[in-house]
Structures are given as C-alpha cells and as structure tokens.
Amino acid sequence: MKTIIKSIIMNKVYIYAILFALASFAGHADAQTLNGEAFGILNLDYPGLEKVKALHQAGQDEKAAEALLDYYRARTNIKTPEINPQKPSIGKEERKWADDALQHTFFVHKGYQPSFNYGEDIDWRYWPVRDNELRWQLHRHKWFTPMGKAYRVTGDEKYAKEWVFQYLDWIKKNPLSPQDDAENVRFAWRPLEVSNRLQDQTSQFQLFIPSRHFTPAFLTQFLVNYHRHATHILGHYSKQGNHLLFEAQRMIYAGTFFPEFKEAKEWRKSGIDILNEQIGIQVYADGGQYELDPHYHLAAINIFCKALAMANLNGFRDEFPQAYLDTVERMIMFYANICFPDYTNPCFSDAKLTAKQEMVKNYRTWSKIFPRNEAIKYFATEGREGSLPAYLSKGFLDSGFFVFRNSWGADATQMVLKAGPEAFWHCQPDNGTFELWFNGANLFPDSGSYVYAGDGEVMEERDWFRQTAVHNTVTLNNKNLETTQSVTRLWQPEGDVQTLVTENPGYKNLTHRRTVFFVDGTYFVIVDELTGSAKGFVNLHYQMPRGEIANSREDMTFATQFEDGSNMKLQCFGPEEMTMKKEPGWCSTAYRKRYKRMNVSFNAKKESGDAVRYITVIYPVKKAKEAPALAAKFKNKNFSDNSLSVEVKVNGKKRTLEMTLDEKRNQ
Ligand code: MG
C-alpha cells in the first residue's frame, strides 16, 4: 500500500515536473509570461521611461512592464502615415479578412481566392499551391491590421484576443534558427517579409494597445520579437532592387516608431542612407526605375514617398536632400506620361494593372509632397485643378520608354513603346514592344506576367508570359531575345510625322531596327528591318485584343469588329514569301488571372546576309466600317544603314515617310 501511495506521489511529482517544463517552454511566448529581455534592449534613459527604469532596477519587472505599457498607451508624439487610431475605419473587404481570420482563414494573396484555411492549430507551413508567393506572403500577416481596424470600429475584444494569440503562435512556430529549420526560415524570415511585418506592426501596435488582451507581459513579448526583426534586417539587407528599397524604408519606420530601442537611431540611419544612395543607383536621369516595370516603378515611388511622409510627420524631413525630392518628382512624371488617360498602366514586364481609384489616391498623396506641380495636381483632382503638361509626345531615352500621343484626354491616340537597356529581375525580354490606346480602350494590351516564381509548373506558366514571342516585336525562330540592349538612334516627337528609331542587337548576328512613324496624330507605320548574317525564320508578332476580328491571309489584314468607339485595322507588308500564323494566346493584367486571345505572327525566311524587312500600318478608327484601304512599300530598294524611305497609301492617298540618321551605328 505504502509503495502504491509513494508511486502515486512520485508520479505526481513527475507529472508536475513535466507540466512545469511545458509551461515554461510555452511561456517563451505567452501573453501572461513576461520576457525580461525587453528591458535589456530598451534605452531605459529615454525620456518618459524613468519609472520603468527604477522599477526594473528594483527587481520589479512585472511592475516595470506595467509602467512601460502605461507609457506606450499615453505616448502621442510619434505618428505613422498609414493610420489614425483615433479615427478608425474599415472597408468591406478588410472586414471580411478580419472576420475570416478568426477561423484561421487567412487572406494571403489576391491571386488565390477564396482564401485557404490554415487549421485550428495553425499550420504556418501549409503550402496548398507551390507558388513561392503564396508561402512568402502568408508571413506578411495581411489580415492583422484589418483585425485591428475591426477591433477599433466594433470595440469587440474577440479581434484583440485572437490577434494576440496568433501573434504569439507565429513566434512559437517560426523560430529564427536557420541551422535547424532552413526551409521554413527561407519563407518566414525572408528580409522582404520581415520588413513588411516591421512596417505593419506599427499600425497593429497602435490599434490594439488599448485592449485588455494587450497585457504588460505581451508588450514585452512584442518588443523582443520586433527587435529581433529589425536586427535581422540590419544584417540581411537584400543586395539590390525593389526589395532593398522596401527594407530600407521599413527600417526607417522601425527606428522612428520605437525610438526607445537602443539601436533605433542606427536602424533609422541605415534606412535613410540606403534610400539616399539607391535613389541615385536605381533611378535613371529621366526618372525611370531600372527594373523597367511600371508596377515596380510605382512601388518605388511609394517607398520613397512613404519615407518622406514618415520624416515629415516626425520632424526629420531635412535628412533627405533636395535631389531626392527632385528624383521622386521625375519618377512621378515618368509614370504619368507612360500611363493611359484612364490612369491605367502598360503591363510591361511583371506589371499588373493598377486601377484608377488607387492611382487618384496616389496622386493626392504625391500632390501634398509636390504642391507646386500642376500636372500632379491635375491627376489628383481628375482635372478639376492644376493643368496638363504643355507637351504631348515624350521620350525617356535613358529608360527607353517612348510615348506618342495626340491628346491627354480619353479620346487620345497613344502608343507607349518599350526599348530600353538591359534591366533587372522583373524586366521581360520584350524590346521594341508597345501598347496602344485609342479613344477609350487599350487595343494592344501586353500579355502581362500572370505569376512570379515557384516550382516547375508555376515557372512554366511564368515563362509563357515572359516569352519575347508573346509581345509586339520581332523574334528569330520564335526564340527569346539573347540581348536586350536597345539603342535609340532617333527620337523626333513633334510635327505631323513623329519618329522613333530604336535598334537592338537581339541575337548573335541579327540586329532589329524598328522605326515608328506617328502620322498626322492619327496612325502608325512601323518598319522592322532585320540585318546581319544570322539565318532562320524572322517572326513579327502582334497580340490582338479580345473580341471579334476579321482577318485575311490574302492581304495580311486584321480589323477589329468591335462596337463603335475603339477599333483598328492592322496590315502587314513584308517579303513576297511571307506567311501568316494565328495562335491562341493569353493576356493577364492581374496575378493568376488571364483570358484567351489571338497571337499573330508574320514569318519570313532569312537565308542570306540580306535584310528582312516589314512595314506594318496600324490605323485606329472609331467605327469598324471606317477602316481605310491601306498600301505600303519601301522606296529604298535595299536596307540602308542610315536612312529609310517608305510610301504609304491611305484610301489611295500617297504619303512618303522618311528618316535619316546622323551618326553611324556604333558597333
Ligand atoms: Mg510582357
């Protein structure tokens, strides 16, 4: 009997020991367990922390944590541009994300809707589709800030309770230990994601801090976790590109929002230094961002502006020199020029379409930073105030973006052509391609990008959209360009006949010279000349808009049969033996969204050193039946290195188009 009792007691001891061990392990990130590390990473001499310091030094950390929470709840001098916790509001979409999150259905990515459920016991490694973005962006916690807004708007503590739970659950299940858990660290601790959390947690902190679930102990857990994030970025900044910009801007946030951390000044300074340096590296003199992707160009503007807004709100604007402001202004004007009258952007490279509503909001923010810029004001007020630029067509010769336009209004005829230098990751090998807007519609939308990166299947999808052959340009044997290094040989943006001549040595022994004439502000004549000793099939590609298109192999014509408003006729005049091929194609202007359309190519064999030459006339018309009869031919019988002359007939009316190049090509 004694032994039995003894064994029960002993077992009880074991059980208690086990329970205690479990509790202290879990206590590592527990809302009720204080993390004393917090007092070591804070500068306790920071004004306002006197009481915290005294209590901590007296060994009363629980009381010190309470005093620290009181301090933060009363703190009003530090502001962030994203939210005003005193005037909370939430839209329908964000409210849904907040409510779904209560059941662990997390809004991770717009391309994957409806959202996936991550289980009652949250599985932060769940990866239902092997697209890297889906797993990376889970760790951006996009539903946390909406939960905070829902909490503030409704006053319902369930949002705060759940946020605290999920915040700690994430810490517990996603340790930063690359040696033991490299696979998960690659996703959860990628610097871009870490920086995203650094920024958004400044909003969450402000929104949730009044809650009773935001306990003094939780505050210590939060601060230790936040500090680990900033420290991680400091040692792991991305090497280049937009990631580095994002990370730097968010370190400015971290250092500004929590000046109480010992390293806060260092964080802020590192961010400011990087932005000041990178704005010179990543932005060409004409204002184009070097990834040559309108979406990332826009993102870069907003990064630079966010840093400025944070500096403005918290009194360190003079840490950014005037040159920084001038560059941002040039970037905005670059974007305003390459976009269409409905505020949408060309979807070159990895760009997605940004809607008008969002752009008007952007222009309003920018107009506050650049109040004297009349064009920005015009776009911010949808034309009610300010004024349009005095010019129409505009070239950006460093970035290789060229805009032909006859108006800034919705009725404009506007071509945006991309033919720039070699660019960074998000850029596609598409030199010479264009989009064309006419009277309210985009008649030549780019194929877009559809997805970024992931396993084999996802990469295959990405690669389809990246192909040179699915752009409005020329390939050799339908292969991707080997070189994307366009040289502008002529840009003449004024008068009845405006001209661009751009040249890309796209393949070994094959150079593509594309001449575009914009005639009478009405139609385009595109002349493609392929020179060099390379042999094979030369393919001139055009991506047709969606809808009914009459076409004829006899005269190589495509004519849209759309409703009145925006139509066009395209006709190609090439070598005698030229063939025409129609293939199914895709167009994607949002992640994981695409529709079918027709890809067309005109193909001719290049068998000798002689140039292969094409003339394409694209004639926009309001009504399909107004499409004119077209004819075109070369007047110079052979390719000339420094000139070109073509004759075009529109309804029988003759027109000669010519260009002469001053300098010899540098080769
Ligand atoms: Mg593209």
**pLDDT in the model for residue 214:** 98
Average pLDDT, the chain: 94
| pLDDT tens-digit map of 190-226 | 999 999 999 999 999 999 999 999 999 999 999 999 9
Residue 27 pLDDT > 70, yes or no? no
Cα–Cα dist 102/122, whole Å = 11
Query: Please, which pLDDT band fits residue 24 given cuts at 50, 70 and 90?
Result: very low
> What separation in Å is there between the alpha carbon of 425 and the centre of ligand 1?
13
**pLDDT in the model for residue 21:** 43
Q: Where are the beta strands (DSSP E) in 59-178?
A: none
**pLDDT in the model for residue 179:** 83
Residue 428 pLDDT > 70, yes or no? yes
Residue 58 pLDDT > 50, yes or no? yes
- Alpha-carbon distances of 176 from 86, 170, 380, 448, 616, rounded to whole Å: 35, 11, 43, 36, 57
> What separation in Å is there between the alpha carbon of 452 and the centre of ligand 1?
12
Query: Please, which pLDDT band fits residue 664 given cuts at 50, 70 and 90?
Result: low
Alpha helix segments (H runs only) across 155-240:
157-173, 182-188, 191-208, 216-235
Query: Which residues, at least 6 apart from 260, have a Cβ–Cβ distance to it below 8 Å?
Result: 42, 43, 46, 49
Residue 163 pLDDT > 60, yes or no? yes
Read off the pLDDT of each residue in 617-623 and give the average, rounded to a whole number. Answer: 98
Query: Which residues, at least 6 apart from 51, have a Cβ–Cβ distance to it below 8 Å?
Result: 64, 67, 71
pTM of the model: 0.88
DSSP 580-606: EEEEEEEEEEETTEEEEEEEEEEEEEE
Query: Please, which pLDDT band fits residue 13 given cuts at 50, 70 and 90?
Result: very low
* More confident position, 141 or 241: 141
Read off the pLDDT of each residue in 643-660 and give the average, rounded to a whole number. Answer: 98
Residue 483 pLDDT > 70, yes or no? yes
> What separation in Å is there between the alpha carbon of 589 and the centre of ligand 1?
10
**pLDDT in the model for residue 659:** 98
Query: Which pair of structure tokens corresponds to residue 231?
Result: 């420290």
Alpha helix segments (H runs only) across 321-430:
322-338, 356-369, 374-380
Residue 520 pLDDT > 50, yes or no? yes
> What separation in Å is there between the alpha carbon of 428 and the centre of ligand 1?
6
Residue with tokens 């290195």: 641
Share of the chain above pLDDT 70, in %: 95
Q: Three-class SS of residue 43?
A: coil
Share of the chain above pLDDT 90, in %: 89
> What separation in Å is there between the alpha carbon of 594 and the centre of ligand 1?
13
Query: Which pair of structure tokens corresponds to residue 60?
Result: 């009363």
Sequence-distant contacts of 546-555: CB under 8 A, at least 24 apart? 546/587, 546/595, 546/596, 546/597, 549/598, 551/582, 551/600, 553/580
**pLDDT in the model for residue 29:** 59
Alpha helix segments (H runs only) across 258-373:
264-282, 294-313, 322-338, 356-369
Domain boundaries, the chain: 1-30, 37-275+302-320, 394-660
Residue 236 pLDDT > 80, yes or no? yes
- Report the CATH architecture of 37-275+302-320: Alpha/alpha barrel (1.50)
| pLDDT tens-digit map of 96-153 | 999 999 999 999 999 999 999 999 999 999 999 999 999 999 999 999 999 999 999 9
Select from 3.30.1490.20, 2.70.98.70, 2.60.40.10, 3.40.190.10 the CATH code of 394-660.
2.70.98.70
**pLDDT in the model for residue 2:** 47
Residue 651 pLDDT > 70, yes or no? yes
Residue 558 pLDDT > 90, yes or no? yes
Residue 31 pLDDT > 90, yes or no? no
Q: Helix 61-74 and helix 50-57: axis angle, to 10°? A: 170
Enzyme catalytic residues = 296
> What separation in Å is there between the alpha carbon of 418 and the centre of ligand 1?
10
**pLDDT in the model for residue 345:** 98
> How does strand 441-442 pair with strand 474-476?
unpaired
**pLDDT in the model for residue 667:** 39
Query: Please, which pLDDT band fits residue 666 given cuts at 50, 70 and 90?
Result: very low
Residue 64 pLDDT > 80, yes or no? yes
| pLDDT tens-digit map of 328-359 | 999 999 999 999 999 999 999 999 999 999 99
**pLDDT in the model for residue 30:** 66
Read off the pLDDT of each residue in 318-322 and give the average, rounded to a whole number. Answer: 93
Residue 499 pLDDT > 60, yes or no? yes
> What separation in Å is there between the alpha carbon of 502 and the centre of ligand 1?
18
> What separation in Å is there between the alpha carbon of 634 and the centre of ligand 1?
30
Cα–Cα dist 281/245, whole Å = 11
**pLDDT in the model for residue 458:** 82
